[in-house]
Amino acid sequence: MKKIWLTILILILAVALVAGCGGPAQQSQQGSSSNNTSGTSTPAKDSIVIALQGEPTTLDPQYPDDGNMRAVTDNVFERLLELDGKTLEPKPGLATDIKAVDSTTWQLTLREGVKFHNGDPFTAEDAVFSIKRIIDPAYKSQIAGNFSTIKDAKVVDAKTIQIITDGPDPILPKRLTKLDIVDKKYVEANPDKVATAPVGTGPYQVESWNRGVDIKIKAFDGYWGNKPAIKAATYRFIQEGSTRLSALKAGEIDLAVNMLPEYVDQLPEYKTSDGIEFTFLRFNTLRGPMKNKLIRQAACYAIDRDTLAKSLFMGYANVAQGQMAKPGYFGFNDSLKPYPYDPEKAKQLLKEAGYNGEVIQLVSERGRWLKDGELSEAVASMLTDAGFNVKLTFLSWQEWLDTLFNVEKAPDIMFSSNGNELFDMDRFYQAIIKTGGPQSTYSNPEIDKKITEARNEMDTQKRLQLYKELSQAVYDDPFGIPLLNLKDIYGMSKNLDWEPRQDSRITVYEMKLK
């Protein structure tokens, strides 16, 4: 297997040479960079083409945890509160004001004069319906964990609603920046159309979805806010990075996500941001070989994260500091460091654990995140080198999503990535660590108790200390392996003016054409 890992590195180098890259990128990883090489300028126009790495599974914004979908729906739907792309703080959205009435009740004043794309007025009933829909267990939203503190919502008057939580929730305003508002009458009357012909209040409305080909959106004439400069956008689904590169160079597209580091020097222009995605391996600690703590610790010592960041991602990734967070996230523990790369220590732990070479299932996908397939192959190779008997299986995107959330059928190890748009560790612990969380294959009553305590703690310093204790606990008793924080690399045409956001949202309404 070691030969396989070496082969992967050789192939990466070959791609870099073909791309004319000539070695690891040395540009600043912050802000933006620009090349004036082989790009083809496009004539002035008022529409753009965006290349996604995959096709959305649905356009119902309240159901899936699907980044391809969000790239579209973030422009079609709005939230009661929006997240500022620079400060990452909540700001007015469909609600103009929010205040705490008491420790469990929040009151919001709704914006007037807002219409849905079908002409329906936005009402307090729509806001309450949207909240109740996403927390309804029967709806089985994959992102319901973000809103699990919400117990109820009710209409106060035509422009006022209240949200009731099951306890003090200091980050409810941030949660609301993730909750898309849908049209109550439309959803109830057209349950089968919501996923394909959605109706929001955003600056763009969906014009068409040609399955397997593209999705088109156009500016909504009745939008209440500032009119966007871009009048229309087409999303194309191009999985291969080389094809996205060719399309950019040919002037066929204006923006491409997840560009390979090897291609940066060939892009007409590119911009980067730190990104929110943390790749990680999730252990099934509930059953099978990974239930053994020593075997899990052995896996942690088997992975050379520094080599992955430098060789596989050419510096466009940072090694996770033993946790699913980076400085700036609320709850980041600056005393934690990643497990050191020590394959001999891993072999020793496997021997102590009595590991007999049984097959370890590693399940992944290919095409959703930057170099996800290559990363999965590399970690499988490193685990094998350390003495694990690994069987790596790639699933389609939909199969992978179904497996991620079906914890009863979880494999021994699952490659995944987590984008924490709340920038608060509550999201991670609720979804992935707490017993019964939508992605959790971990269970520890003492940790569960502390997770709940942290969620309801209104004292900022006490809450921060609780998260530091939690990060140490799941480091010592590994839930999985935090791998890398991936940087976003956007390939752009020279005439597109846009600054990537820290929350990785692809906001057409913030773009301009030069």
Three-state secondary structure readout of 105-134: EEEEEECCCCECCCCCECCHHHHHHHHHHH
Q: Is the pLDDT of residue 17 over 60?
A: no
* Cβ-count burial 234-267 (b if 16+ within 10 Å, e if not): bbbbbbebeebbebbbebbbbbbbbbbbbbbbbb
Mean pLDDT over 259-268 rounds to: 94
What does the alpha-carbon distance between residue 399 and residue 40 come to, in Å, rounded to a whole number? Answer: 38
Residues 167 and 249 in one domain: no
Q: What is the token pair recorded at 140?
A: 């089985």
**pLDDT for the residue 304:** 98
Give me the torsion for CA of 250, 71, 365, 398, rounded to 10°: -120
Provide long-range contacts, Cβ within 8 A and 24+ apart, for 473-477. Answer: 473/444, 473/446, 473/447, 474/433, 474/442, 474/447, 475/322, 475/323, 475/336, 477/293, 477/296, 477/444
Residues 289 and 325 in one domain: yes
What does the alpha-carbon distance between residue 62 and residue 195 come to, in Å, rounded to a whole number? Answer: 10
Domain that holds residue 462: 274-486
Q: φ, ψ for residue 360 (rounded to 5)?
A: -105, 120
Q: Is the pLDDT of residue 341 over 80?
A: yes
Query: Greater confidence, 6 or 246?
Result: 246
Q: Which residues are paired to 141 by β-bridges?
A: none
What does the alpha-carbon distance between residue 190 and residue 337 come to, in Å, rounded to a whole number? Answer: 51
Mean pLDDT over 160-183 rounds to: 96
Mean pLDDT over 163-178 rounds to: 95
**pLDDT for the residue 14:** 43
What does the alpha-carbon distance between residue 510 and residue 195 come to, in Å, rounded to a whole number? Answer: 25
What does the alpha-carbon distance between residue 187 and residue 453 come to, in Å, rounded to a whole number? Answer: 36
Q: Write the CATH number for 103.
A: 3.90.76.10
Residues 372 and 384 in one domain: yes
Residues 284 and 332 in one domain: yes
Q: What is the token pair recorded at 150?
A: 């919400």
Calculate the average pLDDT of the chain: 90
Q: What is the token pair recorded at 259?
A: 């560009």
Mean pLDDT over 154-178 rounds to: 96
How much of the chain is in helix, strand and coil states, percent to nearest 5? 30, 25, 45
**pLDDT for the residue 44:** 59
Q: Is the pLDDT of residue 6 over 80?
A: no
Q: Does 191 reside within a domain? A: no
Strand, helix or coil for residue 353: helix
What does the alpha-carbon distance between residue 426 and residue 454 come to, in Å, rounded to a whole number? Answer: 8
Q: Is the pLDDT of residue 186 over 90?
A: yes
Q: φ, ψ for residue 423 (rounded to 5)?
A: 55, 35
Give the model's confidence band at 159: pLDDT under 50 very low, under 70 low, under 90 confident, else very high: very high
Q: Which residues are paired to 98 by β-bridges?
A: 108
Q: Is the pLDDT of residue 26 over 50?
A: no
Residues 330 and 285 in one domain: yes
Residues 250 and 368 in one domain: no
**pLDDT for the residue 10:** 44
**pLDDT for the residue 139:** 92
What is the amino acid identity at position 452?
Answer: T
How many structural domains compose the chain? Answer: 3
Q: What is the token pair recorded at 174?
A: 């941030």
Mean pLDDT over 91-113 rounds to: 97
Residues 284 and 242 in one domain: no
Low-confidence winner among 62-66, 163-167, 439-443, 494-498 (lowest mean pLDDT): 62-66
Q: Is the pLDDT of residue 129 over 80?
A: yes
**pLDDT for the residue 20:** 35
What does the alpha-carbon distance between residue 484 and residue 319 come to, in Å, rounded to a whole number? Answer: 5
Low-confidence winner among 9-23, 164-178, 317-331 (lowest mean pLDDT): 9-23
Q: φ, ψ for residue 206 (rounded to 5)?
A: -75, 125
Q: Does 213 reside within a domain? A: yes
| pTM, entire model | 0.81
What does the alpha-carbon distance between residue 245 and residue 229 come to, in Å, rounded to a whole number? Answer: 25
Residues 309 and 243 in one domain: no
Residues 240 and 141 in one domain: no
**pLDDT for the residue 21:** 34
Q: Does 10 reside within a domain? A: no
Q: Is the pLDDT of residue 5 over 90?
A: no
CA–CA distances in Å: residue 428 to residues 425, 442, 471: 5, 12, 10
Q: Write the CATH number for 246.
A: 3.40.190.10
Mean pLDDT over 274-294 rounds to: 96
Residues 410 and 498 in one domain: no
Q: Does 83 reside within a domain? A: yes
CA–CA distances in Å: residue 374 to residues 9, 192, 243, 283, 377: 9, 37, 17, 20, 5
Residues 259 and 293 in one domain: no
What does the alpha-carbon distance between residue 271 and residue 325 come to, in Å, rounded to a whole number? Answer: 22
Rg (CA), the chain: 23
Residues 463 and 361 in one domain: yes
